[in-house]
Structure 1
C-alpha cells in the first residue's frame, strides 16, 4: 500500500457563534474574519506538516484546491507543491495534487503547463489530480454553467493530455477553447504523462470514465466507511468488473481522517474539539444544495442518489454529532496506534484500498499536535499498512515510476 499525508488549510480561529451568524462557509463569511497574517502562518504550517510527513517516511504528500471558502483556503495548491518539490529534493516522496480543479478552470493550458513545471521541479514525482470539482466551486465561484461543467471538463482533459503528449505543434478548435498553436514548454519528466488521479464522490458516470481512461479513482470519504463508502466503493468495483478491469487495489485511492494518541481516551481528549470544529463549522457549513446545483450531476448520478441516498452519508446530521459519533461511524479513525492500525487495515481490506490518503491535520488542530499525530502515525501505524497487498503481486501503474521501489520505514513495533 502507498500511504500519503493529506492536509487541508482551514481557517482555524472562527468565532464560537460562526454557525449562527453565517449561513455558509462558502462565500458568505465576510473577508474580515480571515486575517492575512494568520493565513500566512497557516500556509507555513501546511508546508511544514507535509515536509514533516515526508521526512517521517510517508510515501507521498497530498493537498487539494478550493476557492472562496473557510474549510480549505487553498486557491492554488501548485504554489505549495512547488515549495515542497524543492524542500523534499532527494526524498522518494510523491507530490499528489488533487487539484487543480479542471471543471472550474477557464485556462486548461495553464493546468498542463503548471503540472509539467511541477513534474520537472520534482524530478518526475508528480501525481496529477484532475478533479471535476465541487458544484459550488465551479458554478458559483467561477461562473461555469452547471449544465456545461462536465462537457467543459471533458474538452479540457483532452486538451491537457494532448498538450503533454503531442510531438507536433497543433491547433485546438474546441467548443469552449480555441488556440491557433499549442506547443507546451516544458514537457513533463514522466512520459507519456504523470499518473492521473481523479477525485470523486460516487457518481457512476465518473467511475466509468476513470476506468475507461485507466486512471486512479480517488474517493474522498468525508462521511466514513460504515455508511457512504459501503454504498460507493462496491459500486466502483462492480463497474470495474463489468468493464473487464482487474481488481487491482492500486487503481483506488481512499481518504480517511486519522488521529493517533497514546490511548483511545487520550485521542478523544486531545483531538475531540478539533474534529468537531471541522465537521460542525467547516464541512457542515456547505449548503447541501450547492453540492449539486441543477444540471451539475448527470442523470445516472441523480438516479443513484434517488435510489440510495447513502452516498451523502449523515451530512444533514453533522452539526448534531459529537466526537464519539464521528469515531463510531469512522468519519475519523481515532485512538491508540493499535486501534488505528486495526481499523485502517479492516477498511483497506474491505474496500481493496491500494492508496491511503491519511488526513492527519483537521479543523482547528494546533500545529504541534498535528506534528505529533504525523509522527505517531508514521512510527506506529505506517509500517503495518505498507505491506498489505505485497502478497498479491499487483503492479502499481498509478504512481511515479521512479518511486516504485518504495522507501524504508521503521519496522513494525514488536
Structure 2
C-alpha cells in the first residue's frame, strides 16, 4: 500500500455558534471571520505539517482546490505544491487537483502542471476533479448543465497539449486556441499519472475505468458507507475485463492514532467535532446545483459527500458514533491497523489518503498523529498488495540526477563532513 498525507488547510477559528448564526461555510461565508495575519501563520503551520509527513516516510503529500470557503484555504493548490517542491525531495506531490473546467483556457493547467513536474523532478500526480457544486456552479458561475461537457473538453485539450509535439490548435465548443505550444513539457512522458477525485458520480468511476485513470473516492462518511461506491467501480472494471489492481483506486479516510482509546478521544474529539459541525456546514442550496449531478446518479440515489455531511451534522454524531460507523478510524495503533486492513480489503484500495489534521487541530497534535501513524501503523500495511504493479505512482527522476536548492546542498555537505570526521 501507499500512504498519502492529505491536507485540506481549514480555517480553524469559526465561532462556537457558527452553525446557528451563519448560513454556510462555503460560497457566502462571512468575510468578517477571516484574518489575513492569522492566515499567514496558518499557511506556514500547514506547510510544516506536509513537509513533516515526507520526513517520516509518507509516499505522497496532497493538496487540493476550493473557492470562497473556510473549509479549505487553497484556491490555488499549485502555489502550495510549488512551495513543497523546494522543501521536499522524495514524496510524490499529489495535486488533487485542479478543477479543470474552471480554467479559460485549460491550457493553463497543462502549463502549470508541467512546471510542477519539472520543478519536482517528476514527482507530480495530476488530479483532475470535476469540482464541487459550491466551487464550480456558485463560486465560479459555471452552469450545472455545462459542467461535465466543459470538464471533458478541458481534459482533451490538456492531453493534446502534452502529447502533441510542436504547435497545434484546439477548436472546441468552449475553448478555441489557435497556437497551442506549451513550454515547458512534463518530465513524465507522455504525461504525469492522472488521478480523478470523485464524490460518488457513476459517470466519474466509469470514466476512470475506461481511461485507465486512478479513481479516488473522497468522502467524510468513512469506509463502511463507501462500499456501494467502490463496488460499483470494481464492477465496471470486471465488466471491461480489466484486472482489479488495488492501485487503480484510492480512498480518503480520517485517522486518529493515540496510545489508548481515552487519549484518542481527549486529543482529537474537539477538532473532529469542529470539522463535522462547522467545516461541513454547507447551505443545502449550494451543495447540489440543478444539473450538477447526472440523471443516472440521481436515479441511483447517490448523494454528494456534502449532502451526506448535512445529514451527519443534523444527527450531531458523537465521537463514539463517528468511530463506530467508520467515519473516523481511531484508537491505539493495533486497532487502527486492523481497521485499515478491513478498509483496504473491502474497498480494494492501494492508495490511502489519510486525513491526520482536521478542523481546528493545532500543529503539535497533527504532528503527533502523523508520527504515530508513520511509526506504528504504516509499517504493518506497507507490504500489502505487493503482488500488483503500481502504474499510478509518479516515475521520478533518479534522486542523484535531481537538482536541489543550494541550501539543501550545503546542508548535505555539512552532514557529509560531520559523518566523515573532516570538520574543524
- Mapping of 1:293-372 within 5 angstroms? 293-305=289-301, 313=308, 315-319=310-314, 320-372=316-368
Aligned position for 1:394: 388
Give distance in 2, aligned partners of 1:34 and 1:142: 20
Aligned position for 1:241: 238
Give distance in 2, aligned partners of 1:68 and 1:162: 31
Aligned position for 2:5: 5
CA contact (8 A) 1:257 1:359 kept: yes
CA contact (8 A) 1:204 1:300 kept: yes
CA contact (8 A) 1:104 1:132 kept: no
- TM-score, L = length of structure 1: 0.93
Q: For residues 288-323 of structure 1, give each alpha carbon's deviation from its aligned partner in whole angstroms, at most 9, with x where no partner exists.
A: 342321111112111112xx6697656413241121
Change (3 A) 1:403 1:49: farther
- What is the CA distance between 1:404 and its match in structure 2? 11
Q: Mind listing any 5+ residue stretches in structure 2 that lack a counterpart?
A: 400-424
Aligned position for 1:99: 97
Change (3 A) 1:142 1:314: closer
CA contact (8 A) 2:122 2:397 kept: no
Aligned position for 2:85: 85
* 1:127 equivalenced with 2:122 (yes/no): no
Give distance in 2, aligned partners of 1:341 and 1:105: 41
Change (3 A) 1:286 1:313: closer
- What is the CA distance between 1:172 and its match in structure 2? 1.2
Give distance in 1, aligned partners of 2:64 and 2:241: 31
- Mapping of 1:254-293 within 5 angstroms? 254-283=251-280, 285-293=281-289
Give distance in 2, aligned partners of 1:282 and 1:220: 15
Give distance in 2, aligned partners of 1:215 and 1:248: 12
Aligned position for 1:253: 250
- What is the CA distance between 1:159 and its match in structure 2? 0.3
Aligned position for 2:67: 67
- Mapping of 1:85-234 within 5 angstroms? 85-89=85-89, 91=90, 93-227=91-225, 229-234=226-231
SS at match of 1:286: coil
Give distance in 2, aligned partners of 1:351 and 1:14: 34
Give distance in 2, aligned partners of 1:205 and 1:15: 38
SS at match of 2:217: strand
- TM-score, L = length of structure 2: 0.91
- What is the CA distance between 1:403 and its match in structure 2? 8.1
**How many residues end up aligned between the 2 structures?**
397
Q: Mind listing any 5+ residue stretches in structure 1 that lack a counterpart?
A: 406-414
- What is the CA distance between 1:30 and its match in structure 2? 1.7
